[in-house]
Protein backbone atom coordinates (compact mmCIF):
# COMPACT_ATOMS: atom_id res chain seq x y z
CA UNK A 1 0.00 0.00 0.00
CA UNK A 2 2.82 2.40 0.85
CA UNK A 3 4.47 1.78 -2.52
CA UNK A 4 1.22 2.73 -4.30
CA UNK A 5 1.04 6.00 -2.36
CA UNK A 6 4.72 6.67 -3.15
CA UNK A 7 4.13 6.08 -6.89
CA UNK A 8 1.11 8.42 -6.90
CA UNK A 9 3.14 11.04 -4.99
CA UNK A 10 6.04 10.76 -7.45
CA UNK A 11 3.58 11.08 -10.36
CA UNK A 12 2.08 14.23 -8.90
CA UNK A 13 5.53 15.65 -8.12
CA UNK A 14 6.61 14.98 -11.72
CA UNK A 15 3.81 17.31 -12.88
CA UNK A 16 5.91 20.29 -11.68
CA UNK A 17 8.77 19.92 -14.21
CA UNK A 18 6.21 18.84 -16.85
CA UNK A 19 4.20 22.08 -16.41
CA UNK A 20 7.34 24.24 -16.43
CA UNK A 21 8.59 22.45 -19.57
CA UNK A 22 5.21 22.92 -21.28
CA UNK A 23 5.34 26.66 -20.55
CA UNK A 24 8.73 26.72 -22.29
CA UNK A 25 7.31 24.99 -25.37
CA UNK A 26 8.74 21.56 -24.60
CA UNK A 27 7.02 18.15 -24.53
CA UNK A 28 5.37 17.79 -21.07
CA UNK A 29 5.09 14.00 -21.40
CA UNK A 30 8.83 13.54 -21.76
CA UNK A 31 9.49 15.90 -18.85
CA UNK A 32 6.89 14.15 -16.67
CA UNK A 33 8.68 10.84 -17.30
CA UNK A 34 12.05 12.49 -16.58
CA UNK A 35 10.67 14.08 -13.39
CA UNK A 36 9.08 10.83 -12.23
CA UNK A 37 12.40 8.97 -12.16
CA UNK A 38 14.91 11.80 -11.58
CA UNK A 39 12.87 14.58 -9.95
CA UNK A 40 15.74 16.54 -8.36
CA UNK A 41 17.79 16.53 -11.57
CA UNK A 42 14.74 17.27 -13.76
CA UNK A 43 13.60 20.26 -11.68
CA UNK A 44 17.07 21.84 -11.89
CA UNK A 45 17.37 20.98 -15.59
CA UNK A 46 13.95 22.43 -16.50
CA UNK A 47 14.79 25.65 -14.66
CA UNK A 48 17.95 26.03 -16.74
CA UNK A 49 16.57 25.02 -20.13
CA UNK A 50 15.61 27.89 -22.46
CA UNK A 51 12.31 28.51 -24.21
CA UNK A 52 11.83 27.07 -27.69
CA UNK A 53 11.50 29.55 -30.56
CA UNK A 54 7.74 28.90 -30.74
CA UNK A 55 7.27 29.52 -27.01
CA UNK A 56 9.29 32.73 -27.20
CA UNK A 57 7.09 33.99 -30.04
CA UNK A 58 3.88 33.03 -28.20
CA UNK A 59 5.02 34.95 -25.12
CA UNK A 60 5.95 37.99 -27.25
CA UNK A 61 2.52 37.99 -28.93
CA UNK A 62 0.78 37.52 -25.57
CA UNK A 63 2.74 40.53 -24.23
CA UNK A 64 1.25 42.67 -27.03
CA UNK A 65 4.19 42.67 -29.45
CA UNK A 66 4.34 41.99 -33.17
CA UNK A 67 7.11 41.44 -35.69
CA UNK A 68 8.28 44.28 -37.89
CA UNK A 69 7.39 43.34 -41.50
CA UNK A 70 10.70 44.83 -42.72
CA UNK A 71 13.34 43.49 -40.31
CA UNK A 72 11.37 40.79 -38.37
CA UNK A 73 12.40 42.17 -34.97
CA UNK A 74 9.82 42.33 -32.14
CA UNK A 75 8.23 45.74 -31.65
CA UNK A 76 5.27 47.03 -29.62
CA UNK A 77 1.86 46.60 -31.23
CA UNK A 78 1.17 50.36 -31.03
CA UNK A 79 4.50 51.33 -32.67
CA UNK A 80 4.34 53.50 -35.79
CA UNK A 81 8.11 53.39 -36.43
CA UNK A 82 10.29 50.32 -35.91
CA UNK A 83 12.96 50.99 -33.27
CA UNK A 84 15.32 48.51 -34.92
CA UNK A 85 15.26 49.49 -38.60
CA UNK A 86 13.58 52.92 -38.34
CA UNK A 87 10.99 52.21 -41.07
CA UNK A 88 7.30 53.10 -40.76
CA UNK A 89 5.04 50.31 -39.54
CA UNK A 90 1.29 50.08 -40.09
CA UNK A 91 -0.38 49.21 -36.76
CA UNK A 92 -2.81 46.28 -37.06
CA UNK A 93 -6.49 47.20 -37.58
CA UNK A 94 -7.54 45.90 -34.13
CA UNK A 95 -5.17 48.14 -32.15
CA UNK A 96 -6.06 51.25 -34.21
CA UNK A 97 -9.76 50.74 -33.45
CA UNK A 98 -8.96 50.17 -29.77
CA UNK A 99 -6.86 53.39 -29.68
CA UNK A 100 -9.70 55.48 -31.13
CA UNK A 101 -12.20 53.88 -28.75
CA UNK A 102 -10.06 54.79 -25.70
CA UNK A 103 -9.45 58.45 -26.69
CA UNK A 104 -12.22 60.89 -25.61
ZN1 LIG B 1 12.04 46.88 -38.35
State the distance from the centre of ligand 1 to the C-alpha of 48, rounded, in angstroms: 31
Contacts of residue 25, Cβ cutoff 8 Å, sequence gap at least 6: 51, 52, 53, 54, 55, 56, 58
Q: Read off the pLDDT of residues 77-88 as tens digits, 9 standing for 90 and up.
A: 999 999 999 999
State the distance from the centre of ligand 1 to the C-alpha of 97, rounded, in angstroms: 23
Q: Read off the pLDDT of residues 26-71 as tens digits, 9 standing for 90 and up.
A: 999 999 999 999 999 999 999 999 999 989 888 899 999 999 999 9
**Domain residue ranges in the chain:** 2-53, 64-102
Amino acid sequence: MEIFILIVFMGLLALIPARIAASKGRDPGVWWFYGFFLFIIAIIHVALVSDTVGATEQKAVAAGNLKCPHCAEWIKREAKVCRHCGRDVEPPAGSAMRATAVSP
